[in-house]
Structure 1
């Protein structure tokens, strides 16, 4: 794949949109409050966030419920950042490729490949420096996956973090939804987080940090495995203590919870003779409708078991290192990937690596690796957001 050019346009320049990353661009950006800590920065808004006066389509032709204006967008404007427009996403955020009812979004540097989703347009707008940072959501990897495949940084905060409100955001799953930023560099992510949270983030050394490396070899291609090993070697050179850890596939809890809650969000549309969703999205939502209360209750009980398992793991490690994606960016239209254990559906291959940390609500940071467009993720205990970002700042370039 081609590497990003060095002479990307300045964020304030006007630009064309061959990647189809943008859902709506006003004649002029929404201005931020002058003199705020984020003055001079521009951001894009994933088309799940309510913005007064701007349309909300969520990548679908189905009718949508109204959840009001986004608290987070308003807060960013008050802090001085300007909002450039709304970005495309996988239809109603229920997917990881970036495809939707309007055709979907292409990779920022290879039009034959997928950018990842559901925050596809967000990642592209950040990768192309069309904005300083992008506002996305992450329910099962929707910030981290496109960040990894587009070569940018993505941060999913602790579930319910006061600085990253999901009020005024069209939900996918109230159990797993998070809001967070994507940017070309971690310093911008940290600047935004500090302004929103009022907490300082200082670079932290890796010396003595206990790192649990979760790398299920049958779940990733050799180049992804190599990228994670190289990243671990870099941490070890900085004094980190690396050990191997194991985690189970958690989709048995994740999938029933997300699909059942998504079906409830879109119940009014699903009651119509023609709901308006594309066939794949409609099929997933119908699966959610068909789930029994017992099945959903069992999924929540399994989630509680996984949460206890992860809590126990934090007694022996300070942070987890894991692949953010199973493969380099797949081709457009590809729905299956070849892994060491054989072919796997793309959706399952991706989600089993990223969904556990949304399901369990812990902070996760996706950063580029030595392999282009194959990011890794660093995961910390609940509430350790500033520590995680500080460790990110402490990485050797």
Structure 2
């Protein structure tokens, strides 16, 4: 893919045409611009998924089409962690760098999306979230990031190159939460009513040993703020769910990319190829066990929500690390960056509950709020009150 002709030092843009795709004049989103993660099919635009591998055909995205019909204009496509299979923003085209911290990761896989929103190149960015791919870069770049309930009709994943159909979601990232509200209300055709935090039962998930000092400060600071708003806090615990998430995503991704994997040189970077081969090697019994564990975890989360209205949880375990750093220092000792991040965010993608990454009082360290399935409007209304 040719390099863009405009200045793009963070390597955020995968494709940027001379002129945006214009939205329909006079629509409710008229005047807004958005970027499109390069997993979405857009008629007349290339799709690379930030890889050099052969990709399946992808039809035009009805979500992109709907946004254009509502008046928003599409500025171009953004880079991602290769085929969306990672959380750091690395890919076959040099990777994407943090918008404000040179030499640091943006987070992924919606890395370019986060940069375009953070640098005000667009009003909002369209991303996907399979294990945290909207919430992680939002949390590390000072943005809001919304992952809807799985299969939310306003946020379809048709016309998106899958990573894991079980876990994939589509959603937005933006600097201003009001922009996310405006987009969601236009797409859904529903007005999100105001919400009051007073008396709300908020379960606080503070996994012991999983956070660095800054992340602990971000979580406790947000907990205090919610208490000041009238919420009633209670501790909750959740297990590490990667024993179900990792095989499901690896196996399903290998199925999506089976044609490329059948070639002598599939074209994936070594890290991605290793993950896909591992997923390809999983047998029926292993997959049956992984899907069964997922159902057990869903039952567990439903039990948590029977005693609280909302969860407050960390979105990332530390500030954005430098590019190339593999281990981060956490309260429980050094940990590999990938599972350290994914164990915080992947449960809510795998189980499909709605979540919003919210900036905290600690720079580049957002937290997340998670609601029961289908309670997107309530969650968004609460975040609107919080965002002021």
What are the superposed Cα offsets for residues 236-286 of structure 1, whole Å, 9 maximum, x if unpaired? 011000010000000000001000000000000000000000000000000
The question of 1:67 aligning with 2:58 is answered: yes
Question: What runs of 5+ residues in structure 2 fail to find an aligned partner?
Answer: none
Give 1:335 deviation, angstroms.
1.5
Alignment correspondent of 1:191: 182
Task: Flag the 1:353–1:46 CA change in 2: closer, same or farther, 3 A.
Answer: same
Alignment correspondent of 2:302: 311
Q: Is the 8 A contact 2:177 2:387 kept in 1?
A: no
Alignment correspondent of 1:78: 69
The question of 1:259 aligning with 2:246 is answered: no
RMSD: 0.9
Distance of 1:396 and 1:289 partners within structure 2: 43
Alignment correspondent of 2:111: 120
Alignment correspondent of 2:166: 175
Alignment correspondent of 2:128: 137
Alignment TM-score, normalising by the size of structure 1: 0.96
The equivalences for 1:283-294 within 5 A come to 283-294=274-285
Give 1:375 deviation, angstroms.
0.2
The question of 1:343 aligning with 2:334 is answered: yes
Task: Flag the 1:147–1:396 CA change in 2: closer, same or farther, 3 A.
Answer: closer
What are the superposed Cα offsets for residues 195-248 of structure 1, whole Å, 9 maximum, x if unpaired? 000111133111000000001130010111011101000110110000100000
Deviates more, 1:264-273 or 1:194-203: 194-203
What are the superposed Cα offsets for residues 9-65 of structure 1, whole Å, 9 maximum, x if unpaired? xxxxx9621101000000100000011100000000000000011110001000100
How many positions carry a matched residue from both structures?
384
Structure 1 segments, 4+ long, off by >4 Å, are none
Query: Aligned match of 1:218 in 209, 231, 241?
Result: 209
Q: Is the 8 A contact 1:217 1:225 kept in 2?
A: no
Give 1:342 deviation, angstroms.
1.5
Q: Is the 8 A contact 1:202 1:393 kept in 2?
A: no
Query: Aligned match of 2:357 in 335, 359, 366?
Result: 366
Q: Is the 8 A contact 1:96 1:145 kept in 2?
A: yes
The equivalences for 1:42-53 within 5 A come to 42-53=33-44
Query: Aligned match of 1:151 in 130, 133, 142?
Result: 142
The equivalences for 1:18-57 within 5 A come to 18-57=9-48
Distance of 2:363 and 2:231 partners within structure 1: 24
Distance of 2:102 and 2:156 partners within structure 1: 33
